[in-house]
Amino acid sequence: MTPADFQPALTHCYFCGQPDKILLPTKAGVSVQDCHGKIIDREPCARCADFMKAGIIVFSIDEAHSEPGEEPYRTGDLVVVTPDGFDRVIATLRPHVVPQALGTLDAQQAFAHKHRFTFLPEALMRTLGLLEPESR
Ligand SMILES: [Zn+2]
């Protein structure tokens, strides 16, 4: 192996987007450099895994940059709430959701409890007090 063969690559955590695992080549002549920053790891990084043990991670998203059917555009802010706390957030939202969207809200609540994360629009998180009004 030449020194260039030993160039590592970093994966990114799917959840928070932070650099996560280090990839190293395992055979001579195999480079992982092309993978650098391009692999999204669906296994939570250590920080996200800790957060998911503690509660439900609510990631702030920018709706203006999020296309339906694609990955939500994360703003980088997140909060961790207890499952009960998340249910209170959903209960707060419920009266303000149009009836057709209640199924979506129920699905989001069930998803968050099962997978220990969810996404909410940044402006809504500020309105709900999950983020400081001027934290950015
Ligand atoms: Zn993470």
Q: How far is the CA of 63 from the centre of ligand 1 (A)?
A: 21
Q: How far is the CA of 70 from the centre of ligand 1 (A)?
A: 19
Per-residue pLDDT at 35 exceeds 50:
yes
Query: Which pTM was predicted?
Result: 0.84
Per-residue pLDDT at 135 exceeds 50:
no
Range of the domain at 30: 3-46
Per-residue pLDDT at 24 exceeds 90:
no
Q: 57 or 98: which carries more pLDDT confidence? A: 57
Mean pLDDT of 67-93: 94
3-class secondary structure per residue, the chain:
CCHHHHCCEEEEECCCCCEEEEECCCCCCCCCHHHCCCCEECCCCHHHHHHHHHCEEEEEECHHHCCCCCCCCEEEEEEEECHHHHHHHHHHHHHHCCHHHHHHHHHHHHHHHHHCEEEEEHHHHHHCCCCCCCCC
The answer to whether residue 123 sits within a structural domain is yes
60 and 40 within one domain: no
The answer to whether residue 135 sits within a structural domain is no
The answer to whether residue 134 sits within a structural domain is no
